[in-house]
Amino acid sequence: YKKYWPADVHFIGKGINWFHSVVWPAILLSAGIPLPKLVLVHGYVTVGGEKLSKSKGNVVDPFELLKKFQVDAIRYFLLREIPFGEDGDFTEKALIERTNNELVANIGNFVHRTLTFIWNNFEGTIPEPGKFDELDKSLENSIKAVVREVENNMEENRVDETLKRIADFSASCNQYFQKKEPW
């Protein structure tokens, strides 16, 4: 209790918002327990625009999903696809497309080619930079801008925008790598 309370952020689903935003704080106050510093309410995960429902038969079994996809890909998809506080639609097709197009072909490709290049050409040690040309200076400025944007987005709990910015940035890094042709 002493290690984890009061919570900095209390994440809850919108279906239980009333209890956690009214009843739970009243109970805490009456017991003299500090309130969470921030309550964030997330939307529903939908399928075909409809809330998941056993009676409608549109539920997604997370254990079956984990047999097909890695947990990090699922986490990435949900955080990237669904803006916090809003409902968001889930399909396996969209999960596959987002994973293949952003995680694998974009971010993964950039990380792999960069680390492989450093390993193969510099024995795994990052070399000291040479003189920067305009393209290098532009990338350096982009890095600083991305860091500021990511920090701001995370402060505002806009994880989807953070991940979008990182994906966009990795695409520009892939282009930088191609233009520089360091091989």
The CA distance from 29 to 24, in Å, is 9
Q: What is the pLDDT of residues 95-147, one digit of tens each?
A: 999 999 999 999 999 999 999 999 999 999 999 988 999 999 999 999 999 99
Which backbone phi and psi does 35 adopt, to 5 degrees?
-80, 160
| 148 vs 104: CA distance, rounded Å | 25
Model confidence at 57: pLDDT above 90: no
**Mean predicted lDDT score pLDDT of the chain:** 92
Percent share of the chain, pLDDT over 70:
100
Contact 182, 117 (CB under 8 A): yes
pLDDT category, 154, cuts 50, 70, 90?
very high
User: Which tokens is 92 given?
Assistant: 């396996």
Q: What is the mean pLDDT of residues 52-66?
A: 89
Any residues with CB less than 8 A from the CB of 4 and at least 6 apart, and which? none
Q: Is-contact 43 85, C-beta < 8 A? A: yes
Report which of 61, 60, 101 is spatially closest to residue 77, judged by C-alpha positions.
101
What pLDDT shows up at residue 56?
Answer: 86
Q: Quick one: what percent of the chain has pLDDT higher than 90?
A: 71
CA 173 to chain centre: 19
Structure token digits, residue 149? 């944007």
Whole-model pTM?
A: 0.82
Q: What is the mean pLDDT of residues 14-27?
A: 93
Check pLDDT > 80 for residue 34: yes
Q: Is the pLDDT of residue 70 over 90?
A: yes
